[in-house]
Amino acid sequence: MKIPNLLLFIASLTPKKRIIYGAVVGIVLTALLFLLIQSQSSASNDIIITPVKGEFIVSITTTGELQAKNSIEIKGPEQARAAGIWQMKISNLIAEGTVVKQGQFVAELDKAEIANRLKESELSVQKLDAQYTQTVLDSTLTLSQARDELVNLIYGLEEKKIVLEQSSYEAPAVRRQAQIDYDRTERTIAQSKKNYVTKTKQSIAKIQAVEADLLKERQKMDILKLVMMQFTILAPADGMVVYAREWNGKKKIVGATVSPWEPTVATLPDLTMMESITYVNEVDIQKIAAGQGVVLRLDADPNKKLSGSVVQVANIGEQRPNSDSKVFEVRIIINDRDTTLRPAMTTSNEINVAKLSNVLSIPLEAVHTQDTITFVYVKKGGVIKQEVKLGLQNDNAAVVLQGLGENDKIFLSPPPDVSAVKIRSLKVPS
């Protein structure tokens, strides 16, 4: 119908019919406009990409912590166990990061327990010293009395001899009694001499026993004095103080304890050679090996990139705090020298576990699975579900071994109305 005739037709209609006719036309136009917009929107949502050809890198990203490869330990008393001290509490500690000179104060341990032990030891030394003196005096007195008795017996023997000589003019019974007295006195002298030797040895043994106890207690007192001096901890060399860590990973601070088995209070790291300590889960640890290159970034300065390499991979896993799975320690040496690096800085470590050249790769978003078959949506006139064989994968993409060409166009997300499309097998030529 031509436009003039359409206008004449509308003019001939009654007002009520004009309203109805206009409403119908409006609905039809709205529907057509909606379908047009939907068609354009659907077309704009389909993102088409092509496989990327070139270098493909597989990496594992972990979080690590910097520490010096070499460091000097600042330890508490090394003879604390000999002094019978098993737990020592840190009562004073300089701020972490302080640069100190050799011999400068670093920390102090609570001296209350060792001071009490030292006082008890000093009292024991005084008591044993007095006991030693008393033993020596008793031995001297005992031996002196024994010597006097022996001298008196010798005088008595001479008297008995005189009596025996004078009895030669007496009756036989008198002479016999004089001889018996003389022989008895002679035997008494011989026994007294033996007893004197025994008493001398006995006195020496008593003195030696008390002297041994005294020397032992004096040694203990000397050790306590030495250990007490070591409760004031000084820097063994020049450097920056970094707090040591407890078994649970927490740093030692004021109030923390030091034991003879873990005497380290802090360390003086060698900042010229740093390493990052990181932990890799048991799923990825098989991919990590010594010698692999690493790109490190500092959380404090994300724009700074450092190069490194894996130098050590733990053979045995461990359970870290706040971790549900076993992890393995990995040490990464930093090749670059940077004066801004400090111990305990957090790093992001990108470990390059594999590197391929001149391969095709596609984003993981474009890869789909159905009944264990991996496929992608390819645009060739229409939409094709093309089976693909994938190789290495990283966090974002996967290497395509079979099924796609360099110029193929694939959908990044599933296009609409493809549920009825069958998957084209790799055995079918494309």
Could you report the per-residue pLDDT of 348-398, keeping only the tens digit for each?
999 999 889 999 999 999 999 988 899 999 988 888 899 999 999 888 899
pLDDT digits (tens, 9 = 90+) for 276-297: 999 999 888 998 999 999 999 9
CA-based torsion, 11, 15, 17, 23: positive or negative = positive
Q: What angle do CA 138, 143, 148 make, to 5 degrees?
A: 125
239 φ, ψ (degrees, to nearest 5): 160, -175
Under the banding of pLDDT at 50, 70 and 90, the label for residue 194 is very high
Retrieve residue 138's tokens: 């008793």
If you average pLDDT over every residue of the chain, what do you get? 86
* Cα→Cα distances 62→39, 297, 346, Å: 45, 11, 11
User: 249, 278, 274, 275: which is closest to 61 by C-alpha?
Assistant: 278
Residue 3, classified by CB atoms within 10 Å of its CB into exposed (0-12), middle (13-18) or buried (19+), is exposed
Rounded Cα–Cα distance for residues 367 and 397 (Å): 9
Rounded Cα–Cα distance for residues 246 and 253 (Å): 10
296 alpha-carbon distance from chain centroid:
21
Mean pLDDT value of segment 298-311: 90
Q: Report pTM.
A: 0.56
Q: Are strands 423-424 and 382-387 parallel, antiparallel or unpaired?
A: parallel
User: 376, 371, 362, 373: which is closest to 411 by C-alpha?
Assistant: 376
